[in-house]
Amino acid sequence: MKGFDPSFDNCPDYIFGVTRALLEGRDLCAAMQTYYHPDVIRRMPGGILFGVHAEAAMVIERLAQFPDCTPLGEDVLWSGAPEVGFLASLRSLTQATHLGDGPFGPASGRRIRYREISECYAKANRISDVWSVTDTGGILRQLGIDPKAWAQERLAHLDPETQPFRPAIDAQGPYTGRGNDNQWGQAFAELLSRVMSGGFSVIPDQYDRAAQADYPGGHTVHGTEGVEAFWLGLRAAFPSADFEVHHQIGMDEPNMPPRAALRWSLTGRHDGWGAFGAPTGAEVHVMGLSHAEFGPRGLRREWTLCDETAIWLQILAHQG
C-alpha cells in the first residue's frame, strides 16, 4: 500500500479501518486530519458537503443521535491502485440505538439497523471524493416515522444551494475515473440498463430464481418477482427519465463469488404512477448505488440503495 499507513494491508483493510476509527474510535479530530483531505467533497442524495469540517459535523450529528452505532463492513469492491489512488465501494450494515434528539426526532430508545453504500476515492492515505447513500427510509420506518411526512417537515429547513443533491450543484473533485472493464461490472451495468429501458424480462432470465435482494426502506425480497416489483415501481414513477451508469467495478477474487458495484442515476420528470404516487411533473434526480454477487445460475444477491426521502423532497418542493 504505497503512500498509505503501513498498518493497512490492502484497500478493504484501509476502508474498514477508517470507518471504525471515525464511528467507534471516538478520536474524531485526529482521524479526520489523518484520513480526510481538507477539501473533501461528499455527495449524498440529501445534499453536497464541502471540506473536512462539514464532514466532521455530519459524523458528530450521527453520533449524537446514535452514540453506540456500530458499522459492520460487509464488503469492499475497488478499482485503481494505491500508487495512483483507488476508488472503493463500501457496503456496511450499521446497528445502533436512537439515544439522542436530532433530525430523526426525540430520542426513542429504539434499536435499529440500516445499510449504507459509499464510494470513496483515496490517495496518499487521504479520502478526497465521496458518493454515499444511506437508507434513510429504513431508519425512519424503524422509528415509526413516515418518510414522506418527514420530508415535508424538512422542506422549510433546506439550503437550496446545496440540498438536495442534483447535477446542477455538483462540483468536480480529483477523481475522474469510470471504474474498470471487468466482465462482471459490465454485465451488471448492461443488466440494469436493459431493465431501465423497459426490458423487465431480463430479470427472470439473468437473476437466480432464488435471488435475495435488499432495497430501500429496509426491504428484503426473495425471488425474481420482488426484484421486478422494485425496479418496475421506480421506473414507472419516472418513465421518461434518463438512466445513466456513472461508475462500474467488477471483481474476481479468491474465495469470493464474482461481484460488481455500480453508481447510477435517474434524472427527469416525475411523470408516471409508481412508487411515489400520482405524477406531479417535478424534476427529480435519483442517486443510486448497487452491489451484486453472481453464481452459477445468474445474479444471486443484490443490494441497491437510493434515498426515498430525497426523492420526496424534490417532489414536495415542486408542489409548493
In order of 137, 138, 178, the CA distances from 308 in angstroms are 6, 9, 26
Task: Reply yes or no on whether the pLDDT at 27 is more than 90.
Answer: no
Could you tell me which of 65, 212, 221, 74 has the C-alpha nearest to residue 139?
65
Radius of gyration of the chain (CA): 19
Which amino acid type is present at position 80? G
- pLDDT tens per residue, range 102-141: 999 999 999 999 999 999 999 999 999 999 999 999 999 9
Q: Domains in the chain and their CATH numbers?
A: 11-145 (3.10.450.50), 183-319 (3.10.450.50)
- pLDDT tens per residue, range 251-307: 999 999 999 999 999 999 999 999 999 999 999 999 999 999 999 999 999 999 999
Residue 14, Cβ neighbours under 10 Å: how many?
25
Does this model's pTM top 0.85? My answer is yes
Q: Please give the share of the chain, as a percent, with pLDDT higher than 70.
A: 100
In order of 83, 196, 211, 225, 302, the CA distances from 201 in angstroms are 43, 11, 15, 11, 17
